[in-house]
Amino acid sequence: MRNLPEILIKTRQIGWGAAKLLSSYYHGTAQDSHLDIQYKDNEPVTAADVAVSHYILSALQSAFGHQDFGYISEETYQSQPGKHPAEWVWIIDPLDGTRDFINKTGEYAIHIALVQGTRPVLAVVAIPEAQKIFYATKGGGTFVETAAGSQKLQVSSQPSIEDLVVVVSRSHRNQKLEFLLKNLPCQQQKSIGSVGCKIAALVEQQANIYISLSGKSAPKDWDMAAPELILTEAGGKFTHFDHSPLQYNTGDINQWGGLLASNSQDHINLCNLAAKILEDFVPE
């Protein structure tokens, strides 16, 4: 089955189910809500990440099978390194913003993306604390769904660079990123946990730019694939600082370097500006 609208209906249901399960861990109402926090490559992993990963993988695999699709989840990735051979691959982050989840900021999300080749064609981002699901298909637009129904989304058309609101990570920051933020002309800056929640702020017109800059480690395919499509289908742009598109399932799961997401006007200027500012960065 490769009919995107049909696949989307099922994926939205799975997104809501996963949101309910994750939220039960967050609020301590799951059967066993003990988070059992472990660290993998300096990043926290909880019992909630593992349970939701299992839930999403089982539900997708029973709906779509293994013949036409591959599956990559943050929590099972160790056992399947490298490029997945399938043309259509599900890329899943069962809990994006694990640090914010643990610290109870409410800013955490679930990402489910379907990638064809190296580019996303379908995406669901669930934000349990907002009781919202964002969804998009390539060429089909971006929508937000709540208990009241679905609504089409479009990024803002904020005209002046100085007035743009920038969102950045709360917990993945380094000297270089601080230098860039200090020297940008847009000084309205806000820290938000989870890439899904940051992109939700852009498509809900509460912010205009998201910047990610890798350090010793980098965000991964599952952090970016679903949020990217949610943004671009709402009229935004999401690229490397050199304007090249992000690529997924390439064999290197890391998304190295500078990434910029914006409401699209001035995207190229902003990318060039970010790269230019970083030319003057001298590490202490």
Ligand X SMILES: Nc1ncnc2c1ncn2[C@@H]1O[C@H](COP(=O)(O)O)[C@@H](OP(=O)(O)O)[C@H]1O
Question: Which residues are part of a known binding site?
Answer: 74, 93, 95-96, 223
> Interface mask (CB under 6 A) for ligand X, residues 29-58, using x and -?
--------------x---------------
How many residues in the chain? 284
Give the residue numbers of the binding site for Mg(2+).
Answer: 74, 93, 95-96, 223
204 binds ligand X (CB under 6 A): no
Among 12, 25, 97, 274, the residue binding ligand X under the rule CB under 6 A is 97
Contact status: 193 vs ligand X (CB under 6 A): yes
Binding range to Mg ion, per CB under 5 A, among 37-45, 89-97, 118-126, 235-243? 89-97
Nearest residue to 32 (alpha-carbon basis) of 41, 40, 43, 24: 24
Please list the residues that pair with 167 across neighbouring strands.
190, 210
Asked if 227 interacts with ligand X (CB under 6 A), we say: no
Asked if residue 75 binds Mg ion (CB under 5 A), the reply is no
Amino acid identity, position 246: L
Laid out side by side, the sheet with 237-240 consists of 188-191, 165-168, 209-213, 258-262, 237-240
The owner of tokens 């946990």 is 193
In DSSP notation, 202-264 reads HHTTS-SEEEEE-SSS--BHHHHHHHHHHHHTTT-EEEETTSPBP--SSS--B--SEEEEE-S
Minimal distance, residue 105 CB to Mg ion, in Å:
15
Q: Of 4-12, 76-84, 94-102, 264-272, which part binds ligand X (CB under 6 A)? A: 94-102
User: Which stretches of the chain bind ligand X, using CB under 6 A?
Assistant: 43, 74, 93, 95-98, 100, 169-172, 193-195, 214-215, 217-219, 223
